[in-house]
Amino acid sequence: MNTAHTRGLTTVLAVTRLTLRKTFFARRSLWVYLLAFAPLFLFTAHTFLAPRDETRLTKIAAENRVSSKALASIRLGARIEDVVNKLGEPYQRHDRQRRIEGGPGNDGKLIDRATLRYTDGKLDVAFRFTDRVLDSVNRKSPGTLADDTLIFATVFQLYFLRLAVFFGCVGIFTNLFRGEMLDKSLHFFLLTPMRRETLLLGKFLSGLIATIVIFTLSAALQYLVVLARYDRAAVTEFMAAQGWSHLRDYAGVTALACVAYGSVFLGAGLFFKNPIIPAAVVLVWEAANVFVPITLKKLGIIYYLQSLCPVVATPDIDMPAILKLLISDAPPVSAFGALLSLGTITVLLILAACFRARQLEINYGTD
Amino acid sequence: MNDDRVIFDNVSRFYGEVLGVNRVTLNIAPGITSLVGPNGSGKTTLMNLMAGLVHPSRGSISVLGIRPTEPHKLFGVLGYSTQFDSFPRGMTGFEFVCSFLSLYGFSSAQSKKLADESIGRVRLGEAANRKIAGYSKGMRQRIRLAQSIAHDPRVLVLDEPLNGLDPLVRAETLSLFRQYAAQGRHVFVSSHILHEVDVISDRVILLNSGYVMAEGSIQGVRGELQDLPTQVLVRCDRPTDLASKVFAQNLVVEARILTDRSGLVIKTNEPDRLYRAINHAVMEGLEVLSVAPVDDDVNSVYGYLIGSEGSTR
């Protein structure tokens, strides 16, 4: 490496060092931590509450056990009498009446609602009836290790990648330049002997370090917390078989999401005075990724990230329809293809951002 | 040789439809150069252009042979203390100067040494380890100055550097500028009060509304101002006829018919002869509604800049 390259690298690291403290500890970054660690709180709560649930269900099942097969045979539209005939008396029943507005005045239609709860010792199933007809079923399970890792995969793809990492990158990367313009302190960087590209890379690196540390740490902790309530031998076996490689993959996908979304929002912070508008556009585009033809899917970052996830999130039968839609049913692209595409998107966006950085002017009055 | 000069070659800068500076051509030798003009005259724009913080809409700039689009070269030789009174949050004066020196490629030990020296030169040593947020306006001004001189630049650009300084510090600061200039360096200082800087200036550039009105030594500038043409607005029924008449008598530097054709603006070096010619035209049947100097700008701006001490008109 020649002297110029060494000097450039030293300067990139100096910019990163100068920006990093601000990126990690800025007041406006607080909500990024909340987004990142919210699922960790939920999984931790699940880890503590699930064993209590298991004990409760086992106790109930000892007195009111129904078979898993019988529970699975109940279909929507069944009448309450038929369900009771088939499964016997529930371990818990709740009846109530509700008046539905039928027009002007106090006249309305009275409807009967009932909830019947059964358990086979593993699943806690709630059948909900309206006017004695079954209209919804809610299955709750304290879970198995396989169930919980699948839940983790679903949360990871539906919430963590699409919302937490996405908005975290919006918050951190758009502020690398735009935030300094609002604070009127960007000119101090522009008045030092470095190319604008060097400044951009230094700031991008500081954003990457912050987001990767925050989000991969959160993802890894979530994964480990999910496993924490299971028997040590079972966990050791699971980790040796697939757990460690899954954990590595989740961490890698999280880091790649930070790189790709980071480059998008670094550019947004440079090209737009109000980066929330491009962020909203990208959010809509990423959400619409599941509906568009495969050719257009390839223009979305989420498609490649989901392709790299180690577990395919499968829609649960009780999952709300709107969430089911967010689970991509497109054939995943190969790992190499996904990496190459994400790399290409990132490089193109960084090049565009470099071009913009060279033209950047300090005009705080209008920013 | 242009390698020791700062050159503006026909530089214009527009902010949308607003004029920043227009057709500025300057070739500046080392020494203290003062940019003087009222608020909005283009002083800061000219400095920002020199430092590459804004780019020219037209023309080119060279600082010691380096273009402002090459910041990696430019800021090795140029230090700029801007007018922006804002700092990175939470830093002490020492941390501020020292941390930005690290971007110059200095080692940590070198940065600390240079920061110490420059803070000492602006007499801020005792407050160096206090948070900038607690500094007075004058102290903030001085810490910016310390940051701009810390890497020992050959060109020092200082936007209103005397604002907020008490008389003693002001005298020390002016003395610092003299020392720099005596070493063959450029020192650019902006001010909206001419007599504040004319005693130390080797060269003065008078700016108004984005135009360089006069440039040179202070004595030369005073003379140049007196030679500038006067603008007269004449509202009349046949502006084209009047324009032909005054052009024929060679009284006009420039004449511009108003877009609604209700009159014309005449630029002249001989206002007295112009007024006589207008009177003559009235006697020949031209209907004149009014005759008035457009803005009397040279006189008013000069008077404003010079203040009560130096008025020569």
Looking at residue A134, its pLDDT comes to: 93
DSSP state of B292: E
Task: Output the CA–CA distances (angstroms, integers) from residue A219 to A36, A173, A222, A286, in the order listed.
Answer: 8, 20, 5, 21
Q: Which positions ≥6 away from A148 have C-beta within 8 Å?
A: A46, A226, A227
Residues of chain A falling short of pLDDT 50: 366-367
DSSP lists the bridge partners of residue B12 as B58
Looking at residue A367, its pLDDT comes to: 46
Q: How far is A37 from chain B (nearest CA, A)?
A: 27
Q: How far is B210 from chain A (nearest CA, A)?
A: 17
Looking at residue B313, its pLDDT comes to: 32
Distance CA B15, CA A147 (A): 61
Looking at residue B310, its pLDDT comes to: 37
**CB-facing half-sphere around the CA of B14: CA atoms within 13 A:** 6
**What residue type is B209 in one-letter code?**
S
Looking at residue A329, its pLDDT comes to: 64
Q: Tell me the per-residue pLDDT of B157-200, one tens digit each, with 9 for 90 and over.
A: 999 998 878 888 888 899 999 999 999 999 999 987 776 777 78
Cβ within 8 Å, pair A193-B74? yes
Using a CB-CB cut-off of 8 Å, the residues of chain A touching B64 are: none
Q: How far is A189 from chain B (nearest CA, A)?
A: 8
DSSP lists the bridge partners of residue A321 as none
Q: Tell me the per-residue pLDDT of A239-265, one tens digit each, with 9 for 90 and over.
A: 999 999 999 999 999 999 999 999 999
**Cα(first)–Cα(last) distance of chain B, in Å?**
39
Query: What tokens does B214 get?
Result: 């006069």
- Most A CBs within 10 Å, among B103, B145, B148, to test the A interface: B103
Looking at residue A323, its pLDDT comes to: 61
Cβ within 8 Å, pair B88-A194? no
Cβ within 8 Å, pair B53-A7? no
Distance CA A167, CA A3 (A): 39
Looking at residue A187, its pLDDT comes to: 93
Residues of chain B falling short of pLDDT 70: 1-2, 195, 222-228, 295-313
Looking at residue B292, its pLDDT comes to: 77
Tell me the pTM: 0.78
Q: How far is B64 from chain A (nearest CA, A)?
A: 15
DSSP lists the bridge partners of residue A134 as A129
Query: What tokens does A229 get?
Result: 């309530």
Query: What tokens does A314 get?
Result: 């499968």
Q: State the sign of the Cα–Cα–Cα–Cα dihedral A329, A335, A341, A345.
A: positive
**CB-facing half-sphere around the CA of B203: CA atoms within 13 A:** 17
Q: Which positions ≥6 away from A274 have C-beta within 8 Å?
A: none
Using a CB-CB cut-off of 8 Å, the residues of chain A touching B87 are: 185, 188
Distance CA B65, CA B17 (A): 31
Looking at residue B216, its pLDDT comes to: 87
**Concatenated DSSP letters of A41-61:** HHHHHHHHHHHHHHHHHHHHH
Cβ within 8 Å, pair B82-A191? yes
Within an 8 Å CB–CB cutoff, is residue A22 touching chain B? yes
H-assigned helices in B11-136 = 43-51, 71-77, 93-101, 108-121
Looking at residue A335, its pLDDT comes to: 92
Instruction: Please name the member of A17, A192, A364 whose beta carbon is closest to the beta carbon of B75.
Output: A192
